[in-house]
Amino acid sequence: MLLTGTSRAESDAFHLALARREGPLHLELPAPTDPQMRDPIVRAELIQSIIGWAASVPDAKFVTSDANLVEESVPHLVAAAMTASSGATPESERVVLRHALAEHNYLPHPSAQDFCRPRALVLANHLLPFQRSPDLHIKGQGGVEIEESARTLFHDLWSPLERTSSLRAPMGHIGEVLTREGERDVVRRDRWQEWHPATLQGQKFMPLAHRLIRVRERAQDILARKLRGADSVVDALGAVVFELVQNTEWHASTPPLAPPTNCRIVEASETRRSWPSEDTSHFDRYVRSVLTLREAERGGQRPVAVTLAVISIIDSGPGLARSAAHAIGKASEFSPANEMQFLIKALSKSVATTRSGPTGNIGLPQVQQLLTNLNGFMIIRTGTTEMMRNFVTRPYEPIPKTAGAPAPSQFIDWVPEDGFNIAPRVGTAISISLPVDYHYEGE
């Protein structure tokens, strides 16, 4: 069967068949040059479909006419990794798979052209030694983790404008130093981890966020003003990625939630979009709102197109709602019937959790505030729910300072016009987007 994902109806039909245990034994993927494989939003949905297929079909077999595509295409790599434990994979294909996983275990220093093509970290909990990445995890007393000490792997830490102290003291033993930029304190790393391949290449340390996206000057100026001249735009995006990856790590790789065959993916790419001829998708409407906002900000100077960075975080875990139930100590109360209640808790501004470590809530409140500052877009697909939010037209309101004031943000802000119910998905797929460049007539 050739997997496609060009419409919700097609995708729902595929996942309903999986839920009935009627999925195809053999799966073939479109070529990397296929339009749907080149669309980062659709590609994330295809990757989640691949994960669902491999998790639902015993002895699932991935079909490809060219084993080298596993090294060139993230969906092909995920399909190969998810089916590698079935015992039917020839040794020659296993060699290619292991080489591809090694190549996708970290992101090298990018050239300007690299940002235009898909780049990804792919982790496979069931395949040694590809469970951890030196770009995401830090070796600590508790093992190899993604906790606060790993934050500066993702982005620099900037002190708030209201005070001159840093967010926290630098951890010198892991290479963090305190520097000064204007009126701000900045905590940043000055070296790679010892187990990172870049240490052998003599390259200067670069946080992951700076290797994921490149914000051009025309987008930087507007976004920096929305951030009040504070954090670097890229570092703000890095904080979003850290929160999402940390939560994915927790609910997708922690027993008893983690499935035995487990993949986690962080993918980044760019897509250039002109004014939509018609708003055929929620992402088209987001593109229109970004271009309209830019036109208003420039006094009527109309851009012809926008380049958007898209980052997707996908896992084969139990799903965001079940994870939220587990995090707040109510795992026994979860059922498909109350899935929505736990998703609402995951999106709320403050949720007390039973999780150990420095995180005080599930992480999505801060993500929503940062995406509002970045004129962003976010889509979440998990369980039987697909939610999305255009933060240009539906910004996330600040937390009220008045004691006891109700949180103004409403769950309805996440509900698309055509509804949120979908056929059941395995794991969670989250895609975020923000503008990184604008284009004008005559360029």
332: tokens are: 């026994």
CB contact at 8 A, 266 and 313: yes
Q: Residue 315: what are its φ and ψ, rounded to 5°?
A: -140, 165
Predicted local distance difference test score (pLDDT) of residue 354: 44
Within 90-213, residue ranges assigned H as helices are 91-103, 151-154, 198-201, 208-212
CA nearest neighbour of 364 among 422, 309, 407, 324: 324
CB contact at 8 A, 304 and 441: yes
Predicted local distance difference test score (pLDDT) of residue 122: 96
Angle made by CA atoms 185, 191, 195, in degrees to the nearest 5: 140
Cα 243 to chain centroid, rounded: 9
Calpha distance 33→266 (Å, rounded): 20
Residue with tokens 């930029």: 181
Bridge pairing between strands 26-28 and 61-63: parallel
Calpha distance 361→352 (Å, rounded): 6
> Per residue in 71-109, pLDDT tens?
889 999 999 999 986 556 677 888 889 999 999 999 999
Calpha distance 257→264 (Å, rounded): 14
Residues 6+ positions from 66 with CB-CB distance below 8 Å = none
CB contact at 8 A, 379 and 314: no
Contacts of 405-412 spanning 24+ positions with Cβ under 8 A: 407/348, 407/349, 407/350, 409/347, 409/349, 409/368, 411/344, 411/347
Write down how long the chain is: 443
Within 5-73, residue ranges assigned H as helices are 8-19, 35-38, 40-56, 69-72
3-state secondary structure of 115: helix
What would you report as the CA-atom Rg of the chain, rounded to the nearest whole angstrom? Answer: 21
Calpha distance 187→172 (Å, rounded): 10
Cα 313 to chain centroid, rounded: 3
The helix/strand count (H/E) of the chain reads as 15, 12
> Per residue in 244-279, pLDDT tens?
898 777 666 665 566 778 899 999 999 999 999 877
pTM above 0.85?
yes
3-state secondary structure of 243: helix
The 10 Å Cβ neighbour count of residue 2 is 10
Predicted local distance difference test score (pLDDT) of residue 351: 47
Predicted local distance difference test score (pLDDT) of residue 139: 83
Predicted local distance difference test score (pLDDT) of residue 359: 36
Query: What is the sign, positive or negative, of the torsion defined by CA atoms of 235, 386, 347, 131?
Result: negative
Predicted local distance difference test score (pLDDT) of residue 130: 93
Direct distance between the N- and C-terminal alpha carbons of the chain, in angstroms, rounded to an integer: 44
Predicted local distance difference test score (pLDDT) of residue 161: 67
pLDDT < 50 positions in the chain: 229, 349-362, 405-406, 408
DSSP labels, 283-316: HHHHHHHHHHHHHHHTTT---SEEEEEEEEEEE-
The DSSP output letter for 37 is H
Calpha distance 443→437 (Å, rounded): 13
Predicted local distance difference test score (pLDDT) of residue 361: 42
